[in-house]
Structure formats: structure tokens, C-alpha cells
């Protein structure tokens, strides 16, 4: 089987970079990146400047793309948003369901229906497993039911990148799915679910865990996805496996590797504009500090708004906190460090943001505004995590 890739919701190419760093045999045959409502498509343009374009469909709304026109591929990857995955209505001509307009999971599902992709690797936020709050686990249940309906078995893990050597405490849900008709799928049928999670599965091979966990089970009626959307609720743990609608899940613990610290990634010569002094420094101390503020809502209700403190400055002897798209702005989530060379407070630079995510220096220095460089890194995945998974994927696809 050729190692061909389709990358959806590609951003600035974290999946592709991780795969290609691991092996030049991976070949991306199509990608899609479109930021809704934006005149300038900075992430798409950055991607194209590194690898070139494929056709004029890669930078438009994927909902407008005829999925049958996407080239055949053996691996579909993508970091899709966490949205409301509930089923909006029943339609006889759409296998009985139709998802809410604009929800990008349905674009993935449509692609799988059209292309019958053998292997899938997806990334999402860790709260995907628990959402929505009023029906915990429903959204992930809908995703699993859709994949089961299409003939896929699924593994998942919540990975904290810092526990496996990256310079950021970033927890993300990764989903690996494969058609049961593949050689890999047939081989996995004879392995016990516990052993798949513990040591024989995809994620255990890439991210070793401690043994001694307890399994919890449930069943999905994947023949009625509307019913899953309406009634299903389950407490998915941070690891699990699903086959034919039978779900097992467990809370597992990483075998933690040596930490990569924020301080090890800092630049030596930093421009003056990143440093903070005087009144600006006092504002940052206020933003980072604990607060209790009396407020009144629009309907006259009085309440106390409170928030806890954030480390100030950020510790250099630990991995960075989770980077958000607001990084670099005057926002309490932005990293502020005490620069070890000057003993002055400052923001992290765009290059340091790229290093935290595992990209090459100046990866986003492609003409986009500095604000967007931070934004793209806050939206990105941790590239070394993809590199680790790529080696396991390489062997699986090679054996087909």
C-alpha cells in the first residue's frame, strides 16, 4: 500500500511536517485549509509556501468540495474543531441522518464515505470526550457510531505532550481508526481489548503507559446514530477501543519521559519590543493574579466573578503551559517569562512559540502578520507527537 496522505483542516501543516520528518515515503496527495469569514487565508498561504499547492480546491470551504474528486489516499489526517456533533434531523437519502450545518465532523464522514480511506488519524481537544456538559460523552459517541457504521475500529488516547518529551503541557485527544477489512484490522480482531490499550495497540506502541488499569464498557447502537445523538451518555476515559459498537475505556497513566523545559528553547537576542516594563508590567501582574470582582448581569443579577492565579512569570524549568490562539496578546493566557539574559520580563517570541510546538524556526515567517504567527501556533498541534505516531503508522501501512 502506498503511503499517501489527505490532510484536512491542515493549518500550517503540522501533520505533514511530522510525517515527512519521520519518513520521506509519506506523500500528501491533497490537503484542505480554509478559515471561515477571513479575507486573508494566512495558514493556507503558509502551507503553500512550504510545499506548493495541489489545485484550486485546497483553499476553499471544504463543504464546497466534491469528496469524490479528492485523490485516493491510504491515510486521512486532520485536526478538526470541537463542535456540537448532535444530529440535526433525519433524512432518508443521507443514511438517516444529517449533521448540523457547519460542523466539520460531517465533512470528514462524507470524505470517508466517498473514498473508503483505510486508515485515519485525527486530533481534537481533550474535552471532546466529555462534551456536552448536559449529555456527557454524546459528541464522541456520535463520532464512534459514525465510524462503526462505516466499518472502522477505533482507538483513542488523550496525550499530554509534555509527558512524552515535548516542551508543552498540551493535552489533546488523538483518534486512530482503521477499516476492519484491512490486514491490520483482521489481525487486531484476535487481540483482547485490554491488551490493545496496554501494549499491542497503536497508541501504546507510540506512547507507552503503565499497566494496572481497569476497563469500563458500553455498547453503541451504531445502526441508529440519531438515537445515539438523542440519548447516549457515557463517561469516556482517556484511553479506549471500539469495535462493532462495543466500547472499552480506561484511565491510563503515561510512562513519563525526561521533560523538555521552556527555558531550553529561548532565543538569545530578543528585540526590545517583546520586553515589558513600568505600567505595562503592573497590568500583566494584575491580569495574571487571582481576582474576585462584584458584577451585575444584564437582568440585574448580582454575582462575584472570580478566577485563580496563573504563574507569573512562567517557570523556565518546566514545559510551557498550553499555548492558545491568544498567545502574544495582552491576555492572561499569554506566556510571560523573566528573560535569563537580561533579567527583564518579556513575552515569548514567535520563534519561541514555534519551538514550543515543535516547528522549525521561522516556519510562519512567510509574510503573515506577527499576530497571526502566534494565532497559527496556538491552533497547531505538537509536531513531535506526530513524528512518534508516524513510525507506527509506517509499519502498519507497509504491512498492507
Q: List active site positions.
A: 82
CA-to-CA distance for 215 and 251, rounded, in angstroms? 8
CA-to-CA distance for 242 and 177, rounded, in angstroms? 9
Q: In whole angstroms, what separates CA 374 from the centre of its chain? A: 17
Rounded to 5°, the CA angle 150-151-153 comes to 120
What is the distance between the terminal CA atoms of the chain, rounded to a whole angstrom?
Answer: 6
Residue ranges of alpha helices (H) inside the chain are 14-22, 42-51, 105-115, 138-149, 183-188, 193-195, 202-206, 225-231, 278-288, 350-357, 370-379, 383-398
CA-to-CA distance for 145 and 294, rounded, in angstroms? 45
Which residues are CB-neighbours of 365 under 8 A, at least 6 positions away? Answer: 350, 373
Q: Which residue's entry shows cell 538569545?
A: 268
CA distances from 133 to 265, 294, 361 (A): 37, 26, 39
Q: What does the block give as the cell for 142? A: 456520535
Question: Do 387 and 121 contact (CB within 8 A), yes or no?
Answer: no
Q: What does the block give as the cell for 139? A: 459528541
Which of 209, 147, 186 lies closest to 400, judged by CA? 186
CA atoms within 13 A on the CB side of 270: 24
Which of 63, 73, 55 lies closest to 109, judged by CA? 63
Buried b or exposed e, range 381-393, using 16+ CB within 10 angstroms? bbbbbbbbbbebb
Which of 353, 373, 370, 351 lies closest to 362, judged by CA? 351
Which of 299, 170, 198, 319 lies closest to 258, judged by CA? 319
Amino acid at each position: 500500500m502506498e503511503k499517501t496522505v489527505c490532510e484536512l483542516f491542515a493549518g500550517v501543516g503540522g501533520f505533514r511536517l511530522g510525517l515527512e520528518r519521520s519518513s520521506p515515503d509519506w506523500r500528501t496527495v491533497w490537503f484542505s485549509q480554509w478559515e471561515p469569514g477571513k479575507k486573508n487565508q494566512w495558514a493556507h498561504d503558509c502551507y503553500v509556501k512550504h510545499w506548493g499547492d495541489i489545485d484550486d480546491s485546497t483553499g476553499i470551504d471544504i463543504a464546497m468540495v466534491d469528496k469524490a474528486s479528492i485523490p485516493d489516499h491510504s491515510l486521512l489526517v486532520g485536526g478538526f474543531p470541537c463542535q456540537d456533533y448532535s444530529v440535526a434531523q433525519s433524512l432518508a437519502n443521507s443514511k438517516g441522518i444529517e449533521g448540523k450545518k457547519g460542523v466539520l465532523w460531517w465533512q470528514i464522514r462524507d470524505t470517508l464515505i466517498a473514498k473508503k480511506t483505510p486508515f485515519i488519524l485525527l486530533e481534537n481537544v481533550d474535552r471532546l470526550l466529555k462534551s456536552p456538559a448536559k449529555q456527557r460523552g454524546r459528541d464522541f459517541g456520535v463520532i464512534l457510531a459514525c465510524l462503526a457504521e462505516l466499518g472502522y475500529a477505533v482507538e483513542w488516547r488523550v496525550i499530554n505532550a509534555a509527558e512524552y518529551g515535548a516542551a508543552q503541557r498540551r493535552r489533546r485527544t488523538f483518534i486512530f481508526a482503521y477499516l476492519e477489512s484491512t490486514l491490520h484490522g483482521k489481525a487486531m480482531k484476535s487481540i483482547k481489548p485490554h491488551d490493545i490499550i496496554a501494549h499491542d495497540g497503536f497508541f501504546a506502541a507510540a506512547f507507552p503507559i503503565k499497566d494496572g488499569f481497569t476497563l469500563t464498557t458500553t455498547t453503541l447502537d451504531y445502526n441508529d446514530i440519531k438515537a445515539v445523538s438523542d440519548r447516549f451518555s457515557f463517561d469516556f476515559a482517556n484511553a479506549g477501543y471500539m469495535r462493532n459498537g462495543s466500547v472499552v475505556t480506561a484511565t491510563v497513566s503515561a510512562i513519563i519521559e525526561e521533560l523538555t523545559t521552556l527555558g531550553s528553547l529561548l532565543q538569545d537576542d530578543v528585540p526590545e519590543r517583546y520586553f515589558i516594563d513600568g505600567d505595562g508590567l503592573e497590568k500583566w501582574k494584575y491580569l495574571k493574579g487571582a481576582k474576585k470582582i462584584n458584577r451585575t448581569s444584564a437582568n440585574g443579577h448580582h454575582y462575584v466573578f472570580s478566577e485563580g492565579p496563573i504563574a507569573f512569570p512562567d517557570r523556565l524549568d518546566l514545559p510551557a503551559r498550553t499555548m492558545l490562539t491568544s498567545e502574544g496578546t495582552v491576555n492572561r493566557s499569554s506566556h510571560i517569562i523573566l528573560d535569563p539574559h537580561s533579567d527583564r520580563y518579556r513575552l515569548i517570541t514567535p520563534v519561541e512559540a514555534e519551538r514550543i510546538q515543535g516547528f522549525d524556526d521561522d516556519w510562519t515567517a512567510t509574510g503573515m502578520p506577527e499576530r497571526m504567527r502566534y494565532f497559527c501556533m496556538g491552533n497547531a498541534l505538537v509536531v513531535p507527537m506526530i513524528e512518534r505516531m508516524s513510525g507506527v503508522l509506517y509499519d502498519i501501512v507497509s504491512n498492507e
